[in-house]
Amino acid sequence: MRATTTFLSIGLSSSHSRRKGERGGKGERSRNTIRSERNNSVGIGNNNGNNTNNEPFTNDPKRRATDTLLLSLLAGYSLQLLTRQKATAAFAKVNENVSNGQYYRLITSAFLHGGLLHLFVNMYSLNAIGSTIERIFGKTHVYATFTLSAMSGNIMSYKMSKYPAVGASGAIFGLAGAFAVYLYRHKDVLGSGAEEQLNALGTSLMINAVYGATSARVDNWAHFGGLVGGCVYAYLFGPNFKRDTFGRLKNRPIVDLR
């Protein structure tokens, strides 16, 4: 049984610490600019997490989607223990079963884990990146990105790896990929803060790649597939702010589902 484990929280945590120490600096002024212009041009999400006037930035402090996903991972592992791993046999990504039509395993395997350490690392990483994405994209996009990335990661694993696999890190890589697309797309508005976050994400991904290359128990194909899925989702459906003829920021997703 191979595991999908991610240490993406390393880069995010260190970057978060730098941001806290740079309040009032150039990066913070750039972020204040985009917040101010968003408020003036397209409205701001209200406190209950619902959007108004096409504003995807909910700034929802309740982080409902992230917490729901965290509880789902905990529930999945608890089910594994309570059923004495029968749930693992029934819902893990096993190529033979997927080939026989049990496609649900491409999603359910993301909610199973190979042990407490595996679960803890992925929950820690999801807590870090999930809350960030939820503040920027909104809770609906968190659910969608997590699900699509879990599927794309497991599809890649199904195609490229013969081993059974469990774990949420393909989906977590997808969330990180979505965040990277957002940062890269808005570097001109977010300033140096975007570059720092991109560097932190790149460092974390490199650490995971090196670790995965040296461990036979890590499903790197699931990581890669999840990353691609999250990037594609954010590119098509994620925030895409452009300036109008008056210089105001307007959100223009490539595929607008609002």
Residues with catalytic annotation? 169, 223
Full DSSP string of 49-81? S---TT------TT-HHHHHHHHHHHHHHHHHH
Query: Can you tell me which residue has the tokens 């190529």?
Result: 95
193 contacts 19 by C-beta, under 8 angstroms: yes
| H runs (alpha helix) in the chain | 9-21, 26-41, 64-82, 86-91, 95-99, 105-108, 116-137, 139-160, 169-185, 187-190, 192-213, 220-237
Q: What residue type is 85 in one-letter code?
A: Q
Distance, CA of 206 to CA of 173 (rounded, Å): 12
130 contacts 66 by C-beta, under 8 angstroms: yes
Kind of pairing, strands 241-243 and 249-251? Answer: antiparallel
